[in-house]
Amino acid sequence: MNLSEAQSQHDATDQSRSSGRVDFILARMSVRNLSRRQVASITGIGRTRLQTILHAEVDKRTPMRMDEFHMILEKLGIGQLEVAIAADVIDNQPDVTVETVSSVVSMLAELMRGLPRELIGMVYHIDGLEHSDVRPEHGGRMRELVVRSLASHYRNLADRRDMRINNPDL
C-alpha cells in the first residue's frame, strides 16, 4: 500500500467511525422503512458487509470505505452536508436524539447551500468593504445573529399556530 492509499484508508476510517453518521443513516433508513437487506440490494454492497458497517451497536461496527459511504448516501438521497451537520450534532451533544436532529438537519442543510457564495458576493458589493476585513472571529457573532433571528421566526410561527388553534374562526 502506498502513502496515498494509506491516507485515503485513514480518512475513510476516521469518517466512518463517527457514530453520528451511521446513526443518521440508520434513522433515514427507518423513516423510509428500509431494511439493511434492501439497502444492500440497492447499493450493491454485500449483505454481511452492510450489516457490519451499519450495525446498531457502535462497538460492533466496522469502518466503512469512502466508496461505500458515498454509495449509501447517494442511494438513500442523503446529502453530504446533511450527514455532516447531523453527525456534528449527534457526536457532540449526547442529550440530543437522532430523531430531533433529523427533523432539523434538512432545514440547516438548505440554509447552508449557497451561503458561502452569497456571503462572498455580499462582501464584494458593499462599498468600502474588502475580503481582508472579514475575519474568523466574526463567525461567532454571525452565528448568534442567525440563531436569534431563527428563534424569533419560530416563536412567531408557534404563536400564529396557537392563535389558529385557539380561535378556529380566524
Asked if the model's pLDDT at residue 112 lies above 80, the reply is yes
49-86 pLDDT, tens per residue?
Answer: 999 999 999 999 999 999 999 999 999 999 999 999 99
Residues 95 and 71 in one domain: yes
Q: Could you tell me which residues come within 8 angstroms of residue 15 by beta carbon, excluding any fewer than 6 positions away?
A: 21, 66, 69
Q: How far is CA 43 from the centre of its chain?
A: 20
Residues 12 and 93 in one domain: yes
Residues 8 and 81 in one domain: yes
Confidence of residue 16 (pLDDT cuts 50, 70, 90): very low
Asked if the model's pLDDT at residue 15 lies above 50, the reply is no
Residue 41 has a CB neighbour count (10 Å cut-off) of 14
| Domain interval for residue 162 | 114-166
Closest CA to 62 of 78, 74, 86, 46: 46
Rg of the chain (C-alpha set): 21
More confident of the two residues 11 and 147: 147
Asked if the model's pLDDT at residue 147 lies above 80, the reply is yes
Specify whether the backbone of 114 is left (phi greater than 0), alpha (psi in -120 to 50) or beta.
left
Q: Tell me, what CATH number does 17's domain have?
A: 1.10.260
Asked if the model's pLDDT at residue 5 lies above 70, the reply is no
pLDDT at 170: 66
Q: Could you tell me which residues come within 8 angstroms of residue 163 by beta carbon, excluding any fewer than 6 positions away?
A: 170
Residue 73 has a CB neighbour count (10 Å cut-off) of 19
Residues 153 and 94 in one domain: no
Q: What is the mean pLDDT of the chain?
A: 86
| Domains of the chain: total | 2
Residues 29 and 99 in one domain: yes
pLDDT at 6: 47
